[in-house]
Every structure is written in C-alpha cells, then in structure tokens.
Amino acid sequence: MKELIELIDKHLDEYIAIVYPEDIFKAMKYTLMLPGKRLRPVMCLETTRILGGDINNAMPSACAIEMLHVQSLIHDDLPCMDNDDFRRGKPSNHKVFGEANAVLAGDALLTFAPQLIIEKSKGLTTEQILRILHEYTKFAGAYGLIAGQVVDIESEGGKLVKSPKETLDFIHLNKTAALFRLAVRIGAVAACADETIIEKFDNFAKKFGLAFQIYDDIMDEISSFEELGKTTGKDKNSGKLTYVSLYGLEEAENKFRYHIKECYDIIDKYKSDIFKEILDKLSQRIGSN
Amino acid sequence: MKELIELIDKHLDEYIAIVYPEDIFKAMKYTLMLPGKRLRPVMCLETTRILGGDINNAMPSACAIEMLHVQSLIHDDLPCMDNDDFRRGKPSNHKVFGEANAVLAGDALLTFAPQLIIEKSKGLTTEQILRILHEYTKFAGAYGLIAGQVVDIESEGGKLVKSPKETLDFIHLNKTAALFRLAVRIGAVAACADETIIEKFDNFAKKFGLAFQIYDDIMDEISSFEELGKTTGKDKNSGKLTYVSLYGLEEAENKFRYHIKECYDIIDKYKSDIFKEILDKLSQRIGSN
C-alpha cells in the first residue's frame, strides 16, 4: 500500500506544473500534496487491478478523484462553511493563500480533474473515458457530493426535511460514500468490468463510506487534535447531527461493525491485500466485538 | 435574437429540475435564470448555424457555457472576492442563499455543465462530445478563466509580475475572452468545422472579448447603477487596473473601435444578422469615430 501511495503522490505532483500565474497552481498543490492516506485513488487503482485491468490506465482518473476530494476539503474549510483553520495537521488553504484564492483553487481542481482524465487516459477507449467523465460529474455535483454537503449544512442549522436517521444516511451516502463509490466505479470501468460488477463494487463502497463516516464521528468524540491533525470535539460542541449524537457511542460502534463485516464479505473473494489492509486498519481502533 | 434567447432560457430552465435537496437547485437556478443577454450561448449557437450545423446539437453545450459563466459570477460576487451585493439588478446569490450555499451552487454548476453536455448532446459523436468537454475544461480552469481571475485579484492587491499592459491583456484574454472563445470553439466543433475555421472563430472571440471588456470598463466609468443593474464606479474608487485607468477614456475608446472593426471584418463573409446585431449594439454606445 505504501508503494501505491508513493506512486499516486508522484503522479499528483507531476500532473500539475507550476506555471504563470503561479499562485493558483501553488494553492491547488498545497492541500493536494499534504501527506494523506490517498484512500480514494488507492481503492480506484486496486479495483482496476483485482478486476484484471492495468492500473496505469486508471491512474489519471484515480488522481482526478483525489483532486475532487481535496477540492471539497478546501471549500469545506472556508470560514463560511466549516471554518476550519487546520487540515491534515497544517493551516488550511485559505489560511495560507487567502479566501479568494482558496475558492478559486477549489474551482480550478474541480475543472482540472476531468481535464486530466481527458488528456492522460491513454490506454482507455473514447467510450470508457466518456463513461468515466459521466460518473465523475454525477458523483461530484448536486446529485452527489454537493447534495450531501447541502443537507449537512441545513441540518446544522436545524432544518430537517426528512427524519434525523434518513437525513444522516442521506448526508453520508452522498457526502462521504459518493467519492468511494466514484472511485470503485471508475476503477471497474477502467478494467472493462460489466454493470453487475460495477454495482457490486458500488454496494461495497456505499457500506464502506458509511462505516468510514461512523468511524470519523467516533474519532471526533474520542480523539485529540494531535492524533487526527485537525480540530476535534467540534461535532459535540456544535450539537451536530452525527452517528454518535444520534445513536450513542455504543450503538454507533455496532453499526460500524455491521457495515465493515459486510464489506469484508463482499471483497473476500477477490483476495485483495490492499482492501483487507484498509478494512483492518479501520476496524483496529474500534475493536471487533 | 429575441427568439434565440427565449429558446436558451427555456432549455436552461428545463435542464435543471428542482429535486431534494431543493435549496441547492434553487440557488443554482436563481442567478442562472435572472434575465440576461445570453451572449455566450447565443454566439455558440449562431456559430454552429452559420457553419452549417444543427443548433439542437449544440444547445446543451451552449447552456453549459452559460452555467459556467454564471458560476464565475456567483463566486466573483462573494464577500471574499469582489463583494458585490447586486447582480443583474437583483441581490447576488450569497445575499439570498447565504455564502455557503453560494459557494456550493457555483461548484454544482461547474460540475453540472459537463454532465449536461454528456447526457443531452444526442446529435453529436462520442469524439465531438469529448472534444467539447476538453475545450470546456481547458477554458474554465486554471489555464483559462481562473488564471484571469487570479491575476485580476493580484493586480488589485498591487502585485504585478508582468507590465501593467501585459497584465491587463492577460486578465481579459482569460477572464473575459475565455468564455467567448469557448463558445465559438464549441459551436464550431458541433458543426464539424475543421481546425482552420475553429482558429478563425477563436481569433474573432479574442478580439470580441477584449472589446467587450473595454466597453465594460468604459461603462463602469460613465454609467449609473440603474443603467447597468450593478454597482458602478467601483473600479475608479478602488484604483483598479482597467483599460480606462491605464489608457484614459479616449484611448480606451480607440482601442475598442479597433477591436470591433476587426470583429466586423472577420465575421462579415458569414452574413450573420445575429453577430452583426451583437457588434452593432456594443458599438452604438461608444460611437464609431
């Protein structure tokens, strides 16, 4: 997994050259190149690999998903959104480059990601590239990631159109799970997988996304700034709707174990060390009982 | 031209349905559906038509360009950018929906625009759609529109890497001309035009974009809020780098006439009433000598 992350980092760095006007490219790369787990591109490439595809074909798309993810983090951290001063243990983008550049750096990543897919996906057919772009636009926008964001913000403001449980699941099936779903779907398309396989991996990613978010909610409750590299305890202090606030810590942990178990069940037959490592790492901290 | 604008408005309205979570779709449509000149989609469709193409094939792309344009306006108006409270005579997006939703509405338009091109361009080949998406991503991002924005903001802060004249042209060849260039390029691609024709129209749009910006700078100097529907005199009051501030009113008018004349010369052979109307309208207010 370490080698794969290094390979992704190398490509992320190479794909964006610093040209005039330098500030925008520096702002784009600043948050992008902070050391991260690169979970989404790793899952994209590993999906391609275990389905018999060539990870080089999927690399531009995998990096595009990381760019999309980082874009959402940059805009999320803005004072008018979550107002977070730190990200991955460093000052967030707008603290370094100013708010205007942070807005534009996000916009630029959101546009560069599909450009990268178009320009660098050498081993894929035109149809595959178009399908990947379609998946990208569906999951990145108001029918995916952004829908989750909007409902998240509304729920913080006390506006709930659906029940708290439905609202919470909607937020995270979109906000969190959307990019994992996009990652495995694109990985599968790059490996020429059929629709049944794409849906199977999509289902895995939905459950993984929910487990991941529950984990995140639990960690916000029980961890320190030093452990996570970002402000913690914010959810609790702001009265935010989370799996912990809605179900309590114990029930949230049970839900986490339930989803993770399903993930293991789906991915088991593919004998993927990397998916196993991802699931193991997430499980470790919560415990298996 | 009136019928074409109505047709564009009808499609813009139809392409975005209001579904859950409604606020994001309402925010996207609010600024998008404010009555506007729809210059970019009009120029896109008219380019397709005069090059022998079917405007129905170009309609999704034309509307996508308007969405991209409106996205840039929404983010431009934010307090951390130009801090404009009015747009097209109405309160700007963040004044109605709040800053967080305005950021997300812009992001959503930026992602929905290419999704629309992929989903609705029925009469185009896969290659044409991919080419259009490539043009879209190149002109929308850090190598186009956003580059212009960034240098514009930097120059306001007194940071000039190039000379004032080079800087001003760079800003507007990107910030303003980029979307006109994108419009005619996509219009030409939708009509299956060859590269020579695409470059010819690109050249037209560069000159038109500069003329348009000079016109805008002149209007900001000599018009009232009531005439333009947005705050005027801001450039002057903020000491902003504009064609008027750099060259003076008279020389700016001369530059305008020079670029407009070239536009007439390029487009003349196509006998386009619509391009003639657009150029005539812009020329009227400045006067021809």
Give the amino acid at A126.
Answer: T
Comparing CB atoms, the residue among B23, B99, B150 nearest residue A24 is: B150
Between B230 and B18, name the one with better pLDDT. B18
Domain residue limits, chain A = 2-286
Mutation choice for B interface testing from A69, A104, A138 by most B CBs within 10 A: A104
- 3 state DSSP class of A259: helix
| B100 within 8 A of B124, measured Cβ to Cβ | no
Over range B129-158, report the average pLDDT: 94
CB–CB contacts below 8 A, A to B = 134
Over range A197-225, report the average pLDDT: 91
Contacts of A142 in chain B (CB under 8 A): 24-25, 28, 108, 111-112
| pLDDT above 90 coverage of chain B, percent | 84
| 8 Å CB contact of A111 and B25 | no
The ipTM estimated for the assembled molecules is: 0.93
Contacts of A146 in chain B (CB under 8 A): 24, 104, 107-108, 111
pLDDT tens per residue, range A55-106: 999 999 999 999 999 999 999 999 999 899 998 889 999 999 999 999 999 9
| A41 within 8 A of A65, measured Cβ to Cβ | yes
Q: How confident is the model at residue A289 (pLDDT cuts 50, 70, 90)?
A: very low
What tokens appear for B80 in the block?
Answer: 């951390």
Contacts of B78 in chain A (CB under 8 A): 100, 103
Average pLDDT, chain A: 93
> Cα(B153)–Cα(B82) distance, rounded to whole angstroms?
9
- 3 state DSSP class of A90: strand
**Which residues contact residue B247 at a Cβ distance below 8 angstroms, ignoring those fewer than 6 apart?**
B255
| 8 Å CB contact of A141 and B100 | no
* The predicted structure's pLDDT at residue B157: 82
**Secondary element (H or E) of residue B22:** helix B22-32
Write down the pTM of the prediction: 0.94
* The predicted structure's pLDDT at residue B289: 46
Mutation choice for B interface testing from A97, A99, A107, A126 by most B CBs within 10 A: A107
DSSP state of B221: H
What is B2-286's CATH topology? Farnesyl Diphosphate Synthase (1.10.600)
> Cα(B246)–Cα(B241) distance, rounded to whole angstroms?
7
Comparing CB atoms, the residue among A98, A115, A138 nearest residue B137 is: A115
Comparing CB atoms, the residue among A101, A118, A140 nearest residue B134 is: A118
